[in-house]
Amino acid sequence: MQEVIEYLFKSILPEGASLKVTQMPSEESMNTDVFEIEVPKEEIAKVIGKGGAVIRSIRILASIASKKQGRQLRLNLVESK
């Protein structure tokens, strides 16, 4: 699942932009995958998109892939320094 998330974000970010995807332990349930996505400060607006449209679309696509594996998904977007 981490590879799918990395692919989706790398397709939006310019080549060479740093991206860090980390799987975190879930506090909700054993059936939930939580990923923290760290994006450079100057690229955060591009990832969020107008009105949150881009990040919403990424979350939808990633959750579809996750549900095929019988899992739930949560993405946390973090601004890197």
- CATH number, domain with residue 73: 3.30.300.20
Contact 63, 73 (CB under 8 A): yes
Look at residue 27 and tell me whether its pLDDT is greater than 90: no
Residues in the chain: 81
Q: How far is CA 31 from CA 27, 44, 49, 72, 74, in A?
A: 10, 29, 29, 6, 11
Domain region containing 61: 2-80
Write down the pTM of the prediction.
0.86
Burial environment of residue 48 by CB neighbours within 10 A (0 to 12, 13 to 18, 19 or more): middle
The total number of structural domains in the chain stands at 1
Look at residue 81 and tell me whether its pLDDT is greater than 80: no
Look at residue 62 and tell me whether its pLDDT is greater than 90: yes
